[in-house]
Structure 1
Amino acid sequence: MLIPIGLIGFAMSAIEQERANAARHSMQLASAHHQFQARGYELWEACTGPDACLLVITGADVRACTIDGVSMARAQPASGSASAAVPVESAAYRSAAQLPSAAGLFAVCAGLHRIRTTTASGGEVDTFLSLNPREARAFALDANLSAFVAHEPDHEAALVEGALAGPLYDYNAFVAGARIQSPSIQSAKDALDAAEKWLQQAVQAVAKGVPVKAFELAASARGILAGVPVSSFARLTDFIGFHAFELQQRGEQTKARTVVDAGLVALPDSPTLLAVLGMLQSRAGEASGQSTLQRALRRGAWMPPALRAQAEALIAPRAAMSSG
């Protein structure tokens, strides 16, 4: 039988609705795909552009590490670098005696990075470290601390200068390349927005006298930022610094310090936050303020100029007294 006219009208109406829904869904998919592509391009550009960084690791086999959530087990050194011909399966390469003294990762985006591995005794290592635009840093695996720790400046400079003598791995190819394929990849703006919300809650937790909660919230902010290309954390460090100095002016020294400590959980080794901490310590008459400020100034090139000048001014009198 023929379809009744009434049903034809109903069917046509339903079809038009389906078409409208399909068109809307298609536009949503296209928008999502565009955003996904934009986030991937942002990461690629940060790794291959002029602000890319160099990371040198000693005491650990890079191919036994997971960096920003991506296993390096199948990574091969870039063609032309030392040890490029050594197969990953080589037992000699894996033995302690043959472990490379230093290995570098190039084309690394600026931002916060997470490195996980295990020590020879099986201890878990999970370290977050930061890189600023065009920065080169060197870290050593400290088995006793079960962490990667920054080399002293002089040693670090030598390791960075000699990076070409060891195997060099392409972060963009092995890590960023894998992350770009993930639908969960975030843009710098989205990650900073989310991290700022966590830090706002952390500051509120400090105000309520719950520091442990503040550190947990700061750790959540840190986790969101790992592997995301961020050229500046100024909006986060400004936020932490403002509330820390505000608390200090109100005479709440402990809370002021806790706010900065929470900030350093989220942004480990941040020169700006270390400078803020050093100032708080110095204003409180603590001798440790000088060493904290000196530590901050090692990476002073990435501090706000005004803050760097204040830090240098606080160190200068002590330096003059020592020389005198």
Structure 2
Amino acid sequence: SPSEYIAAILELSALVVKRQRQIFLYPDVLYYLTPDGRRFRRACDLVHNFTDAIIQERRCSLLTEGSHDFLKAKAKAKTLDFIDVLLLAKDEDGKELSHEDIRAEADTFMFGGHDTTASGLSWVLYNLAKHPEYQERCRQEVQELLRDREPKEIEWSPSEYIAAILELSALVVKRQRQIFLHPDLLYYLTPDGRRFRRACDLVHNFTDAIIQERRCSLLTEGSHDFLKAKAKAKTLDFIDVLLLAKDEDGKELSHEDIRAEADTFMFGGHDTTASGLSWVLYNLAKHPEYQERCRQEVQELLRDREPKEIEW
């Protein structure tokens, strides 16, 4: 049933995260001998059987009706989904995707795409509503891009930085599954290792240029005027905060420290706050008794006053 499928997806996600922390269980031959490994296999079988049944059902409909009528019926009912698109797709040689290819794509969609689009759009819409001036700039950019025409085919200006971030993320995940490539000495000899180095260089060069530009502005204007101008324009960002920060000895952060923090923010902080808040709000809505306890704690903390200064 669909509920069993969702439960299996959640169980697999938890088991994958748990296994990543147990390096001695990376080899499948060892992992599948453990209780977690057996649970993983059972959950995998359930997910695959569920997906297989849907693919088989849709493929039969496609063969019976023909691609034209199948697509027409789906479009009319507005029920064309991801699996339908994959069934109709063809590779670079004009061949249809195999059953295994479609199943693999569906699994990737369920795991890799979980909540990322929704969380990202929520964050963007919130910030556009909060800052009308940026909303107007975005609108102007869209209008300029479309040039009074239908958005059927648009020429995008690809961002090398974003492309490098995405490539690095994919390479890191892939490398985690290849335990023999964990040593840098071996990894950098492989094609993936060389791609990783190139992407790293691009990301570092991009961040270095921004840090250098902001540091020059800070030295020219002075910290007081720099901060005042940023606050007035509401453009104080993460790198500006790091440039103004000092360590426990009162020293400014070095160029390398700032770059490392910026890289961590881009990789480690991706979607975590949005996902965490979504999880908290969901559980508070599901358990009213805990929601009430949280409300009482907040009321006790604020004591009928404005939350400008709170004693923790």
Q: TM-score scaled to structure 2, two decimals?
A: 0.23
Hey, which of these two has a bigger chunk of helix by percent? 2
Q: TM-score scaled to structure 1, two decimals?
A: 0.23
Hey, which of these two has a bigger chunk of strand by percent? 1
